[in-house]
Amino acid sequence: MENPKIRFKGFTKDWEQRKLGEVSESYSGGTPSVGNKSYYGGSIPFIRSAEINSESTELFLTEEGLTNSSARMVSKGDILYALYGATSGETGRSRINGAINQAILAILPHDGYDSEFLMQWLRKSKQNITDIYLQGGQGNLSGAIVKALEVNFPSLAEQRQIGNYFQSIDKLITLHQRKCEQTKKLKKYMLQKMFPRNGAKVPEIRFYGFTYDWEQRKLSEITTMHARIGWQNLRTSEFLDSGDYMLITGTDFNDGAINYSTCHFVERERYEQDKHIQIKNGSILITKDGTLGKVAYVQGLSMPATLNAGVFNVEIKDETEVNDKYLFQYLKAPFLMDYVNKKATGGTIKHLNQNILVDFPVFMPSKAEQEEIGTYFEKLDNLITLHQRKCDELKKMKKYMLQNMFI
């Protein structure tokens, strides 16, 4: 039998092929009658297929519900395999002690077979399994199908080393995901606290040394807004796959930044048509069509760029009074879309016109305080990006290693 492309040092023995049902015990559960209220609302977590990787459940069973149904108990660490519906083929290890329903198969490996190794193999093989048995679409698997799956196993020692390796990667991914979410929550909280609200002249939280009241200005007083005018609109047939002049559209916005890998290009004459929509690093952009009110701050732009219709270029009138990063964060906060939605007065705004934006109120502290606030939120954004990038890199590495450390 062939060996995997990548192995840990010291392991040379051939792997052996076994059916999953030969090396494990497995069982499914059931669902207590939903019409019997005495079966629900107890203390036993009732794990459903969408919750196999969760630390909590939406429903709980009573002892009576467990006893009078086919629901079965599983323990923390047991392999859980989703059989039904949109989650068919998903695999996890239970994070809690609880009961499972008929849409989950619990898999308990025999001695000599490692749970983490087997779970990682099932995750790696998900696409292949669903392609064969579900033709790639939504449907149901069965315990018989899973038991018949043929798995290649190395020695127990090698299984454990492989399982521990992927478990370590999963922990790192979870760590960066958690830090990313925590930083997003912190940013959301600070956006609510570091800008004046409900008629106040100062925010609840300020940097040390700043005491002056903030000034309210209209967006039109501190900026000018430009977009490609109607007769200059670009047709998709004019979009180029490469070139010297980049075209930025609303679909290229990605969480406050521009995803340059999705941008198209245009001919020079289209770029030169309007100097007011020639974009540079530090430009602030707002979508006015499609998904309204998305805001992006341009950084890392390495070539001339212009806009298609549907995006405003917001230009600061006096940079000695207004800090670009502060204004970007203010526009990206919920205040702008809250204002737009109030202007809708019960209807739906399909286009974000200048006559809506001109009176948008912007609270302005001193330039020095603006710079402090802009820099603070920029650092939070950089942390979020760092953790997200690390997650993406780890997932990419894990995918590669899964393909090369198993047969």
Confidence of residue 292 (pLDDT cuts 50, 70, 90): confident
Examine the domain organization and report whether 76 and 159 are in the same domain: no
Decide if 296 contacts 310 (C-beta within 8 A): no
Task: Quickly list H helices, 105-155.
Answer: 115-124, 126-133, 143-147
Give the separation between CA 13 and CA 112, rounded to whole angstroms. 16
User: CA-CA distance, 241 to 166, in Å (whole number)?
Assistant: 39
Residue where the block lists tokens 């599983």: 74
Q: pLDDT (tens digit, 9 = 90+) per residue, 146-205?
A: 999 999 999 999 999 999 999 999 999 999 999 999 999 999 999 989 999 888 899 999
Clarify whether residues 166 and 236 are in a common domain.
no
| Same domain, yes or no: 220 and 350 | yes
Q: How confident is the model at residue 346 (pLDDT cuts 50, 70, 90)?
A: low
Domain of 103? 18-153
Residue 12: inside a domain: no
- Same domain flag for 341 and 289: yes
DSSP annotation string for 230-279: GGGPPPGGG-BSS-SSEEE-GGGEETTEE-GGG-EE--HHHHTT-GGGEE
Q: Is residue 351 part of a domain?
A: yes
Same domain, yes or no, for 190 and 222?
no
Q: Decide if 201 is inside a domain.
A: no
In the chain, how many domains are there? 3
| Beta-bridge partners for 286 | 295, 312
For residue 208, tell me if it sits in a domain.
Answer: no
Among 229, 240, 237, 226, smallest CA distance to 309 is for: 229
Residue 9 is assigned to a structural domain of this protein: no
Residues 338 and 386 in one domain: no
CB-count exposure of residue 14 (10 Å: 0-12, 13-18, 19+): exposed
Evaluate if residue 301 carries a pLDDT over 70: yes
Q: Are residues 27 and 145 in the same domain?
A: yes
How confident is the model over 217-225, as a mean pLDDT? Answer: 95
Does the residue 207 lie in any domain? no
Contact 110, 26 (CB under 8 A): no
Instruction: Identify whether residues 35 and 62 lie together within a single domain.
Output: yes
Region 272-277: what's the mean pLDDT?
A: 93
Q: Which secondary-structure segment (H or E) carries 389?
A: helix 367-404
What average pLDDT does the segment 377-383 reach?
A: 95
CATH code assigned at 79: 3.90.220.20
Domain match, 222 and 271 both: yes
Residue 4 falls inside a structural domain: no
- 259 and 169 in a single domain? The answer is no
**pLDDT of 347:** 63
* Neighbouring residues of 242: CB distance < 8 A, sequence distance ≥ 6: 265
Distances (CA, A) of 102 to 32, 38, 67, 142: 10, 20, 15, 10
Half-sphere exposure of 118 (CA within 13 A, CB side): 30
Please tell me the pTM assigned to this model.
Answer: 0.83
Is residue 165 included in any domain, yes or no? yes
Residues 18-62 pLDDT 10s: 999 999 999 999 999 999 999 999 999 999 999 999 999 999 999
Shared domain for 163 and 149, answered yes or no, is no
Query: What is the structure's pLDDT at 339?
Result: 87
pLDDT level of residue 137 (50, 70, 90 thresholds) = low
The reply to whether 22 and 75 lie within a common domain is yes
Q: What is the pLDDT of residue 138?
A: 61
